[in-house]
Structure 1
């Protein structure tokens, strides 16, 4: 008798953000004479969470995983693979996922590796988790996203301090005997735009060679050792080109239209960009998830944190068909349809 074919399914998602709140009033005081209130009109961000001194990416990832275990009554012995998406690892080596495996008390016969992706990373992580399960290499994958990007932002860089926050998520992707729940995965990469969103310092290569405009000196900044740089206009233009194309490709692969989608969750970059994309796609507001006002742009965690918040409010419910789209640093993008 032939065994039923198994597919990967998104079973649950949980989020975690650090305790420290940095609101716009605090930034107004620290960044004067810059008006953070004026910037917030476009970003849609009222506050963001940042890590405390000594708090690391692994700390956030572990907290998100523990929240998932607690909320779902999940036995940690059931996990047989860990994927951690981060661009702020605790160390150059070993992989942060190895540290997380140990701290969570998971079995030592689990696989674990890091995905060095940013804003599109959650979709890439779902793709990797789905492939592990569909190929029979794993039954239950713990997909984690975690970044402490505030450590990369120069304290004098007002535009970036108002946007980015720290956060983490944990998603359970597990084998199911039902029909496929992930459909239409599509990906894209344009490394020629890498210089537009980059941490030019702190690595092993000369950042000035790849992105001279990102140099702290060129920006009139005293380096903090990392000095995240973003050319907002270039990234905005990229998003307007890449997101509609990714959506069209994914829907075509899934043999669906936007009318078949119950909710759309994009990378939560900033409110102005999201609203521009919503209008460009002609999506009704009730189908469009925006959940970032109190956490900011949390890069790879932005989609799952928004999804977890929408599940709590009821904007997203089990049984819905979702379209998830990540885009940003790389430059890279990814999209997928998910049936909850």
Structure 2
């Protein structure tokens, strides 16, 4: 007995911010070149009163509208770095909001761009150990709430979204072997320093500059782009080969490689290093941008719409932590 991905749905906020919108705020930056290099034209941003839970709720409703029986859900895995509260766990709130059974498991896990692949592995483990049969894997992020208004780079890259994935017990074993990596020495390369236990939120926090006139404070998201690029380009190509070896499959037998949709420049760099053809390497972040833990399920959903034969797909996430994970899945039909 194995497991498979039965369905995926995603939800963007209504508010759409284009490069033209940002150009008016940052008139001295070349957004045409940005779009060509990074591959992002628009992103979606929550309203002040809107949260990741709202997006997760709507994504889940889309699953149920497809015919998924909500009474069959026996576990919620909720991946987020945008929780409703420090406590309680947002997964518990979602259980009640969706009207799911009280006899289910539910917990949050705090991971960013590697979160979806971690979640698939956790769902697989719950099902194969017979602790669950139908797992609802949620990813939900509202990084826009963490970005300083003067931070042109991060406002250009990141967008908000949520996804809902149904992982089910199956006679098919379509979620294969996964691998993981962690380098906590790079924890400060992507960080919101203030607001949790170590450093309190500072109402008088100084505004700092980084890169080319980007501004941020320690209350907001900071990303060391060059260091994140160095980490990714140094680790992920060899990690991809590790996943192939772990699953005893050749590179040429993979129908599609779907990596975390960080930015087109980084993805193309890794594609070329791995010597993968363009048609076998998915890049589609023009509308939506980098939605952190949501990028892989959104890309997988979009790509799967054209599937009419079984395909082997490599999924790899990487980022904040520093953390990376990935594995092999098989998809037989549109999700």
When normalised by structure 2's length, the TM-score is 0.93
The 5 Å alignment of 1:214-233 reads 216-217=207-208, 219=210, 221=215, 223=217, 226-233=219-226
Q: What runs of 5+ residues in structure 2 fail to find an aligned partner? A: none
Say what the alpha-carbon RMSD is for the aligned residues: 1.8
What is the rounded CA distance, in whole Å, between the counterparts of 2:24 and 2:136 in structure 1? Answer: 40
| SS at 2:148 equivalent | coil
Please tell me whether the aligned partners of residues 147 and 216 of structure 2 are also in contact (alpha carbons under 8 angstroms): no
Is 291-300 or 33-42 further displaced after alignment?
Answer: 33-42
Q: 1:78 aligns with which of 72, 80, 84?
A: 72
What is the rounded CA distance, in whole Å, between the counterparts of 1:56 and 1:203 in structure 2? Answer: 18
The 5 Å alignment of 1:20-99 reads 20-71=15-66, 73-99=67-93
Q: 1:247 aligns with which of 240, 261, 269?
A: 240
| SS at 1:265 equivalent | strand
Please tell me whether the aligned partners of residues 14 and 64 of structure 1 are also in contact (alpha carbons under 8 angstroms): yes
1:163 maps to 157
**Aligned pair in 2 of structure 1 residues 207, 229: CA closer, same or farther (>3 Å)?**
farther
Q: 2:257 aligns with which of 245, 248, 264?
A: 264
Q: CA deviation at 1:35?
A: 2.7
Please tell me whether the aligned partners of residues 79 and 110 of structure 1 are also in contact (alpha carbons under 8 angstroms): yes
Please tell me whether the aligned partners of residues 184 and 251 of structure 1 are also in contact (alpha carbons under 8 angstroms): no
Q: CA deviation at 1:221?
A: 4.0
Deviations 1:45-69 (A, max 9, x none): 0000010120001001111111111
Q: What runs of 5+ residues in structure 1 fail to find an aligned partner? A: 1-5, 209-213
**Aligned pair in 2 of structure 1 residues 215, 88: CA closer, same or farther (>3 Å)?**
farther
Q: CA deviation at 1:207?
A: 8.9
Q: 2:138 aligns with which of 144, 168, 178?
A: 144
Q: 1:332 aligns with which of 310, 323, 327?
A: 323
Q: CA deviation at 1:317?
A: 4.7
What is the rounded CA distance, in whole Å, between the counterparts of 2:252 and 2:230 in structure 1? Answer: 26
Answering whether residue 195 of structure 2 is matched by residue 196 of structure 1, we say no
**Aligned pair in 2 of structure 1 residues 269, 215: CA closer, same or farther (>3 Å)?**
farther
What is the rounded CA distance, in whole Å, between the counterparts of 1:222 and 1:271 in structure 2? Answer: 24
What is the rounded CA distance, in whole Å, between the counterparts of 1:279 and 1:263 in structure 2? Answer: 15
2:129 maps to 135
Q: CA deviation at 1:37?
A: 2.5
What is the rounded CA distance, in whole Å, between the counterparts of 1:90 and 1:75 in structure 2? Answer: 26
What is the rounded CA distance, in whole Å, between the counterparts of 1:317 and 1:284 in structure 2? Answer: 21
What is the rounded CA distance, in whole Å, between the counterparts of 1:289 and 1:318 in structure 2? Answer: 18
Length, aligned pairs only: 325
Please tell me whether the aligned partners of residues 36 and 162 of structure 1 are also in contact (alpha carbons under 8 angstroms): no
When normalised by structure 1's length, the TM-score is 0.92
| SS at 2:87 equivalent | coil
What is the rounded CA distance, in whole Å, between the counterparts of 1:207 and 1:27 in structure 2? Answer: 31
1:14 maps to 9
Answering whether residue 167 of structure 2 is matched by residue 173 of structure 1, we say yes
What is the rounded CA distance, in whole Å, between the counterparts of 2:313 and 2:105 in structure 1? Answer: 28
| SS at 1:174 equivalent | strand
Q: CA deviation at 1:285?
A: 1.1
Q: 1:101 aligns with which of 70, 95, 98?
A: 95
